[in-house]
């Protein structure tokens, strides 16, 4: 049963169904025709079709029993390189079914692996290269170590162009019997910037609010998607209510289960949004970016999320206070 979540329901199943990314698709089809391919590295921003292309390639290579010949792993979810190696080892022991002489390993979010883990992965790739081909998927190619890059054919996925996204959204809306006007589509594009997954999710949540989607519906949906607490936390900090801001921060972290980096990302988006209370209060944009970027660095370095974010909140409160008293 296909899922009723539109991102999955309307995910292209074959290479033919993929819109845009023509050059990439053409080369992938060539692999299917010759039944041979090198290891591949798909790099590009979220929602540009990397995973979709890998799955469609698997489908076209093996036909209906593609699942038996494909191992899907997500580096962010597996506990360490040892687990990944063990799973690949078990899987690569058996020969491929059908007339394609290799099996596929799709390793998503490979750039989340440490460079040591990537070194180990490289050895694994070599060990099983007779019977398996790897498709590594990453947002940032620079986070993949050189020795792996040099063993892969690299495909760079670009953010999808506006026309392609809007056309696809319009088609999905039509399939679902949802009315959506041009202005709404424009707004969705503005908010997703070539990230198809985000665009479709915005459309579906807007359609959940009203079957006739206009620009206000889109913004209503977006307003609800973002945890209310982010803005409330900033408003409290700007008012100088540090304890109130801390309560909101804790709701985000311990109720919603967001990590420190997730909260930082939301704050970052907030700083860049012209409607943000931070900007309305006229705090210097450069100072805010330094503050949040610095906290981001510290959290990635392994520091305590709550202490670092409280340092940010207390600094924002101080900046707002000093601005007022000038």
Q: How many residues bind other proteins (CB under 8 A)?
A: 59
53 or 166: whose CB is closer to other proteins? 53
249 CB burial (10 A radius; 0-12, 13-18, 19+) = buried
User: Interface residues for other proteins in 102-141 (CB under 8 A)?
Assistant: 108-109
> 31: which 2 tokens?
């692999």
CA 63-31-35 angle, 5° bins:
60
Phi, psi for 104 (deg, rounded to 5) = -110, 140
User: Interface residues for other proteins in 261-320 (CB under 8 A)?
Assistant: 262, 265, 298, 301-304, 306-308, 310-311, 314-315, 317-318
- We find the least distance from the C-beta atom of residue 313 to other proteins, in angstroms, to be 8
151 or 214: whose CB is closer to other proteins? 214
Name the segment binding other proteins (CB under 8 A); options: 29-37, 68-76, 114-122, 166-174: 68-76
- We find the least distance from the C-beta atom of residue 127 to other proteins, in angstroms, to be 25
Contacts with 176 (C-beta within 8 Å, 6 or more apart), sequence order: 6, 207
Distance, in Å, from the CA atom of 288 to the CA atom of 319, rounded to the nearest integer, reads 10
User: Interface residues for other proteins in 220-239 (CB under 8 A)?
Assistant: 221, 224-227
Site string for other proteins, 138-157 (x = CB under 8 A): --------------------
179 or 304: whose CB is closer to other proteins? 304
Sign of the alpha-carbon dihedral angle for 158, 107, 33, 61:
negative
What's the Cα-to-Cα distance from 196 to each of 66, 166, 200, 205, rounded to whole Å? Answer: 24, 10, 6, 14
Distance, in Å, from the CA atom of 133 to the CA atom of 39, rounded to the nearest integer, reads 5
What residue ranges bind other proteins (CB under 8 A)?
1-5, 7-8, 46, 51, 55, 72, 74-77, 108-109, 197-198, 201-202, 204-205, 207-209, 221, 224-227, 240, 242-243, 246, 250, 254-255, 257-259, 262, 265, 298, 301-304, 306-308, 310-311, 314-315, 317-318, 321-322
């Amino acid at each position: 049963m296909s899922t009723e979540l539109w991102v999955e329901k309307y995910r292209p199943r074959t290479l033919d169904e993929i819109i845009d990314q023509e050059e990439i698709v053409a080369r992938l089809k060539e692999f299917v025709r010759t039944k041979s391919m090198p290891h591949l590295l798909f790099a590009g921003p979220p929602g540009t079709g990397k995973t979709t292309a890998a799955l469609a390639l698997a489908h076209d290579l093996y036909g209906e029993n593609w699942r038996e010949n494909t191992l899907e792993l997500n580096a962010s979810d597996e506990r360490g390189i040892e687990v990944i190696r063990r799973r690949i080892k078990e899987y690569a022991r058996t020969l491929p079914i059908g007339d394609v002489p290799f099996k596929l390993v799709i390793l998503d979010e490979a750039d989340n692996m440490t460079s040591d883990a990537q070194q180990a992965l490289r050895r694994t790739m070599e060990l099983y290269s007779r019977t398996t081909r790897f498709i590594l998927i990453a947002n940032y190619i620079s986070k993949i170590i050189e020795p792996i890059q040099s063993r892969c054919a690299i495909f760079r996925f670009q953010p999808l162009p506006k026309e392609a996204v809007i056309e696809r959204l319009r088609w999905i809306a039509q399939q679902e019997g949802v009315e959506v006007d041009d202005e709404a589509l424009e707004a969705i594009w503005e908010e997703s910037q070539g990230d198809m997954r985000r665009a479709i999710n915005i459309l579906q949540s807007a359609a959940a609010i009203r079957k006739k989607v206009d620009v206000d519906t889109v913004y209503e949906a977006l307003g609800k998607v973002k945890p209310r607490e982010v803005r409330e936390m900033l408003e409290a900090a700007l008012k100088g209510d540090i304890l109130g801001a801390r309560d909101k921060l804790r709701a985000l972290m311990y109720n919603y289960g967001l990590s420190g980096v997730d909260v930082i990302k939301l704050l970052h988006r907030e700083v860049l949004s012209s409607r943000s209370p931070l900007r309305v209060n006229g705090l210097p944009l450069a100072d805010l970016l330094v503050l949040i970027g610095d906290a981001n660095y510290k959290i990635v370095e392994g520091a305590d999320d709550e202490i670092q974010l409280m340092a940010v909140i207390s600094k924002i409160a101080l900046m707002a206070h000093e601005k007022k008293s000038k």
